[in-house]
Amino acid sequence: MERISWHQYFMAQSHLLALRSTCTRLMVGATIVRDKRIIAGGYNGSISGGKHCSDEGCYLIEDHCVRTIHAEINAILQCAKFGVPTEGAEIYVTHFPCLNCCKSLIQAGIKKVYYGQDYKNHEFALELFNQANVTVEQVELEEMILDTKNKEKLSFTAELLAKLEKKGLEQNEMETLREQANRLYTST
């Protein structure tokens, strides 16, 4: 059995954390890692015991929801709360960090930022990461790795398409079916 890479493992964890988000605009998850061990996780949501966007709606000021605490900050605060040092750690985030999170990550001593998707990437954030010698790398989640039967499904679909083609299904219909199958099995 082939194991998933560390990058995929930690990015999958961040996507799992994002499912706990109460933000109705964008669900984000973050996982802080040191020495290939998870030391904290966070998702964007309201303060503990506070009103949630999913219940009350977003509280927008200048098109920014001020009700939520970002996933990266929640993960850093979890470390602070339990006395876990973040110096030299890495973080996996589902989306590119905002400018404020960028500055907080630098101040927390995070040395590597792995993010899944571009999201309003701020040029100054990249400049600050560069100044602080923080490595920034995009690592998209390969969603198929979460499906333990993906190879069997791909093989079955390919077999079905081959049988349909052999039975004489028109070429334009075959092409449509292939495109539909490709959309099902690729994340975009």
**Active site amino acids:** 72
The strand pair at 112-117 and 135-138 is best described as parallel
Q: Maximum CA pair distance of the chain?
A: 67
- What does the alpha-carbon distance between residue 183 and residue 149 come to, in Å, rounded to a whole number? 17
Structure tokens of 148?
A: 């333990």
- What does the alpha-carbon distance between residue 138 and residue 92 come to, in Å, rounded to a whole number? 9
End-to-end CA distance of the chain: 27
- What does the alpha-carbon distance between residue 10 and residue 2 come to, in Å, rounded to a whole number? 16
Structure tokens of 128?
A: 């600050």
Residues 6+ apart with CB under 8 A from 8: 139, 141, 142, 145
